[in-house]
Every structure is written in C-alpha cells, then in structure tokens.
Amino acid sequence: MFEQFPEPARTQLASAFDEGRTRPEWCFAEGQARLAFWAPFAGSEPVIVWQFDPGPDPVAAAGLLRRSLDAMGLTKIIHDISLKPGLTPVVDRAVEHEALTLAGFAMEVERLMLEWVTGTDLPADPGRLTYRPARGHDPAEVLDLLVRISEGSLDYDTQIEVATAGPEHEARWMYDDLVNRKGKPDWFVLGYLGDSPVGLVAPDDHSIAYIGVVPEHRGHGYVDDLLARGTRTLAEAGLQRIVAATDVANVPTANAFFRAGYSEVGRLYRYYWRTS
C-alpha cells in the first residue's frame, strides 16, 4: 500500500512501519486522495490522520476520510495542518480544510510552533531545583505527578482528555507516550524543590515533548527552570535546532518559551473528529 504514496511520504511511511507506528492496512487511497493513520508508539491506537493528500476534489477526499474512519472503527482522531505565520487553512489549504469539514472534522485549537536554534543564548538555569530521571522512579509516582499537573492545565488536549476519559487515563497515555519517545533515558526528568516534586520536563531527540508544573508550585517561575533544563540538555547533546509547540491560548507557557529564546516559526491548526 505504501507504494501508492509519492515521496517523501512513501519513505516516511516505511520508516514509521518499522517503528510500529503505522501499518499498510491503515493506509487508504482513492483517485488522487490519500491518507494514513499514525500511532505515537508501537501497540497504541492511531491518533492522527497522517500524510493526508486530498487531491483536487474536497468532496471525494471527504468521502475517503469517512470510509477510512468507518473501516478503522475509531471513535476519535485528530489532523494537524502546519503553516507559516500569517497563513490560514481556509485560504492557504482550502481543499484540505473543506474536505475535513465535510467529513465532520472541526478546527478546535491553534498552536504556536516554536524553535530554539544554535546561536541563541541558552536559558540560564537558576539552580533552584534538583533533577531525578523519571525512569528511576516507580511509574506510579510519575503517573501521580502527571495527574496533578493536569489539574487546571491550560492545554486544550489535556482538558479534553481529562473531561472525557478522566485524569488517570490521560496520565497513563501521556506516560506511555513519553517513555517511548526517542532520547536518552536520563533526559526525561522530574524537578524537585528539596523533597517536594515541582514538575517535569521531557525532551526527546528533537523537541521539548512535554513540560508541566504541579498546581501548588505554579506562579513561582519554575516552568523557566524546567525549560532551561530541557533546552540545555538537548543543546549540550549537540542539537542545533529544538522544536516545541503550545496552544496560542496557553499564554504562560508560550511566554516561558519566548523567555528561553524560542521564536515562533509557524502555526499548527488542529482538527478533531469524534463519534457523537
């Protein structure tokens, strides 16, 4: 099935298959429209419509989306459109946007795409926290911390998952995602103030995958400490570009990235499809 996709999608699909993130039976094509489904780690359900090329006809592409969703038996899925600043899906990806809308998707959140590059000053580590590798902890301790971080979170995806599936389910999924990401085992760390856990930061092989502070320690700037730790970890490992994303509406986290020397390089528009 992968051969029905043009390059570079074909090579990307083959690589994702080797990692257990997609399968030939998760790929669909009809006419000039193509799409695949992608899972964040081996053994998980697909969460993203990936490699979606609607072709020239939004009606035909919407039909392929609906049939593929029915064949997959999914109850929810997302699709992301990434654009340079100043562009919008309605104008600049009109066929894709219309196909998604006709298939029952709704654009619900806009995210900042951010990057730190070599040559930018590294954020200073205030030295207030000590750090312990998450993998050195009992998973139950990390899960409990993730549940606490989700309380009052401004992240839209977190809010939706907590409201629909519960905080424990959301924490379990996030933990499984983070421990399966590429990166050295000691990069994903918990930050402590004395013996009190403040939050965590999870860099992977190219990004700040996750960062969060527990409610009782918010308002003291500890997100800056955690972000400095994650950014410095990757910079010292030789990465010349570190990427991240956060919701436009999550102003405190966005401002933390800007303080750490990250700049906006694009916008990600996230579309959601759910069964009724």
Does the residue 114 lie in any domain? no
Written in H, E and C, the secondary structure of 43-86 is CCCCCEEEEEECCCCHHHHHHHHHHHHHHHCCCEEEEEEEECCC
Residues 136 and 100 grouped into a single domain = no
Provide the total of helices (H) and of strands (E) in the chain, helices listed first. Answer: 9, 11
- For the chain, what percent of residues have pLDDT higher than 90? 96
Is pLDDT of 70 > 90?
A: yes
Q: What is the mean pLDDT of residues 230-252?
A: 97
Residues 93 and 209 grouped into a single domain = no
The predicted structure's pLDDT at residue 1? 78
Q: What is the mean pLDDT of residues 128-132?
A: 97
Residues 143 and 73 grouped into a single domain = no
Q: What is the mean pLDDT of residues 193-198?
A: 96
The predicted structure's pLDDT at residue 15? 94
Residues 86 and 140 grouped into a single domain = no
Angstrom CA distances, 57 to 61, 66, 97, stand at 6, 15, 11
Residues 141 and 259 grouped into a single domain = yes
Does the residue 66 lie in any domain? yes
Does the residue 11 lie in any domain? yes
Q: What is the mean pLDDT of residues 138-145?
A: 97
CATH code (residue 152): 3.40.630.30
Q: What is the largest CA-CA distance in the chain?
A: 61
Does the residue 272 lie in any domain? no
- What is the tally of structural domains in the chain? 2
Is pLDDT of 214 > 90?
A: yes
| Long-range pairs for 153-162: beta carbons < 8 A, 24 or more residues apart | 153/212, 154/247, 154/249, 154/250, 154/251, 154/252, 154/253, 155/246, 155/247, 155/250, 155/253, 156/108, 156/109, 156/247, 156/249, 156/270, 157/109, 157/270, 160/272
Q: Which of 69, 104, 139 is the last residue of a domain?
A: 104
Is pLDDT of 237 > 90?
A: yes
Domain encompassing residue 25: 2-104
Residues 94 and 135 grouped into a single domain = no
Does the residue 257 lie in any domain? yes
Residues 89 and 191 grouped into a single domain = no
Q: What is the mean pLDDT of residues 63-78?
A: 96
Residues 157 and 234 grouped into a single domain = yes
Does the residue 112 lie in any domain? no
pLDDT bucket at 3, cuts 50 / 70 / 90 = confident
Q: Compute how many other C-beta atoms are within 10 angstroms of the C-beta atom of residue 238.
A: 7
pLDDT bucket at 252, cuts 50 / 70 / 90 = very high
- b/e sequence 76-109, b meaning 16+ C-beta within 10 Å: ebbbebbbeeeeebeeebebbbbbbbebbbebeb
Q: What is the mean pLDDT of residues 175-179?
A: 95
Is pLDDT of 45 > 80?
A: yes
Residues 90 and 158 grouped into a single domain = no
Is pLDDT of 118 > 80?
A: yes
Is pLDDT of 276 > 80?
A: no
pLDDT bucket at 158, cuts 50 / 70 / 90 = very high
Q: What is the pTM of this model?
A: 0.94
The predicted structure's pLDDT at residue 186? 94
Residues 143 and 258 grouped into a single domain = yes
Residues 215 and 249 grouped into a single domain = yes
Tokens coding 206:
């190219």
**pLDDT tens readout for residues 46-62:** 999 999 999 999 999 99
Does the residue 77 lie in any domain? yes
Residues 100 and 173 grouped into a single domain = no
The predicted structure's pLDDT at residue 2? 85
Does the residue 236 lie in any domain? yes
